[in-house]
């Protein structure tokens, strides 16, 4: 679908639910000889992410025209769902909760354009907007791994597979989304008080597990709530660091501050006159990077680099990247299980990990 869209001179977006799925999607499209593909997700150094955001806005934003858009595609994560005023001719989205599918559809044929993608006054001339949903086929009796075997990474991001099954059921029956008319029908159909009763028994256990986690999270949130009348000192747990007292639910993240070697010293990954260290930050799951494997000499260089940071490096993990023979930038890190893995970084794919032995 995306290849045919690009070949016809239009533009497309494929929204994936995990960073790795987005990277795999980009590689798949390039294997299919689609060269003008942009990868957009949150696991870039902030400066590189802002550069990518500017390019995406220029090519697919409100002021873009045929010359900017024709034959191009974006593979992105949820970063395109909100805030950015983007407009695509065709959209593919991995299965997600129905409210997010509606949100993603808001970036489809968003501005009035002619068939070539140029802005026009009056109604849009590109025909009926088409939103493709990549999902397992609907079945009234799904197995417990109905979604997990189809999109393993996304199964962890959206664990309530019963709600996803209802989403596929309603969209299959409806065959279209008309807004605002269908909004209440779809949202209440998936999240309403009677929706859970329609979930098949094979997925009902997953539904109960998700409800149990939701109640546990509500308890944690209540415990961590700052009681203003008691002041900071008397508040439960005294509000220690963010890992002990999380400020949001879900998988905690750790901030990486990426650095590169320059004449024996560590400098920020992003070259900037101001805020260079902040622009060199990227966030990953906390269990992915616990520490960096460093020699004594490298550790001294890290400590010296921290003295140049506004916070003295207290709230981050400094990752010195070395360039190897093929031009890639790598670092050895330890994850939460003390396993040595390789962290890779480049401006095209962002932060990635593998189990390979670091090349000299």
pLDDT at residue 263, rounded to an integer: 83
> Taking a C-beta distance cutoff of 8 angstroms, is the pair 161, 211 a contact?
no
Task: Output the tens digit of pLDDT for each of the chain's 360 residues.
Answer: 999 999 999 999 999 999 999 999 999 999 998 889 999 999 999 999 999 999 999 999 999 999 999 999 999 999 998 789 999 999 999 999 999 999 999 999 999 999 999 999 999 999 999 999 999 999 999 999 999 999 999 998 998 999 999 999 999 998 889 888 889 999 999 999 888 888 888 888 776 677 777 777 777 777 767 777 766 555 555 555 555 555 555 557 899 999 999 888 899 999 999 999 999 999 998 889 999 999 999 999 999 999 999 999 988 999 999 998 888 899 999 998 999 999 999 999 999 998 654 443
pLDDT at residue 193, rounded to an integer: 84
Q: How far apart are CA 250 and CA 352, in angstroms?
A: 21
353: three-class secondary structure by DSSP: strand
- Does residue 15 have a cis peptide bond before it, meaning omega lies within 30 degrees of 0? no
pLDDT at residue 247, rounded to an integer: 55
pLDDT at residue 234, rounded to an integer: 52
DSSP state of 320: E
pTM metric for this prediction: 0.87
Residue 203 φ then ψ, to 5°:
-105, -5
pLDDT at residue 312, rounded to an integer: 94
Buried b (16+ CB within 10 A) or exposed e, 47-57: bbbeebbeebe
Q: How far apart are CA 202 and CA 91, in angstroms?
A: 31
3-state secondary structure 210-274: HHHHHHHHHHHHHHHCCCHHHHHHHCHHHCCCCCCCCCCCCCCEEEEEEEEEECCEEEECCCCCC
Q: How far apart are CA 179 and CA 158, in angstroms?
A: 24
pLDDT at residue 358, rounded to an integer: 43
């Amino acid at each position: 679908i995306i290849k045919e869209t690009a070949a016809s001179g239009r533009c497309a977006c494929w929204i994936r639910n995990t960073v790795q799925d987005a990277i795999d999607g980009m590689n798949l499209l390039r294997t299919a000889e689609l060269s003008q593909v942009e990868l957009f997700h949150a696991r870039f150094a902030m400066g590189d992410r802002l550069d990518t955001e500017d390019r995406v806005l220029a090519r697919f934003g409100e002021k873009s025209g045929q010359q900017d858009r024709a034959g191009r595609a974006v593979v992105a994560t949820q970063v395109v769902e909100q805030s950015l005023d983007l407009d695509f001719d065709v959209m593919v989205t991995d299965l997600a909760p129905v409210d997010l599918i509606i949100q993603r559809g808001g970036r489809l044929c968003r501005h009035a354009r002619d068939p070539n993608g140029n802005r026009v006054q009056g109604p849009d001339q590109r025909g009926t907007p088409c939103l493709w949903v990549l999902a397992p086929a609907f079945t009234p009796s799904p197995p417990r791994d109905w979604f997990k075997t189809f999109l393993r990474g996304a199964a962890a991001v959206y664990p309530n597979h019963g709600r996803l099954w209802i989403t596929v059921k309603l969209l299959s029956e409806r065959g279209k989304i008309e807004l605002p008319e269908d909004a209440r029908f779809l949202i209440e159909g998936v999240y309403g008080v009677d929706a859970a009763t329609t979930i098949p028994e094979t997925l009902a256990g997953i539904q109960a597990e998700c409800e149990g986690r939701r109640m546990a999270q509500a308890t944690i949130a209540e415990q961590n709530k700052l009681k203003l009348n008691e002041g900071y000192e008397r508040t439960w747990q005294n509000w220690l660091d963010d890992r002990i007292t999380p400020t949001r639910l879900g998988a905690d993240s750790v901030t990486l501050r990426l650095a590169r070697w320059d004449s024996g010293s560590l400098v920020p990954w992003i070259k900037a006159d101001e805020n260079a260290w902040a622009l060199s930050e990227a966030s990953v799951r906390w269990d992915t990077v616990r520490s960096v494997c460093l020699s004594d000499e490298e550790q001294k260089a890290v400590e010296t680099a921290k003295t140049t940071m506004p916070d003295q490096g207290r709230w981050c993990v400094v990752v010195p990247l070395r360039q190897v023979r093929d031009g890639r930038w790598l670092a050895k890190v330890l994850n939460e299980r003390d396993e040595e893995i390789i962290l890779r970084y480049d401006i095209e794919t962002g932060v990635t990990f593998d189990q390979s032995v670091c090349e000299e």
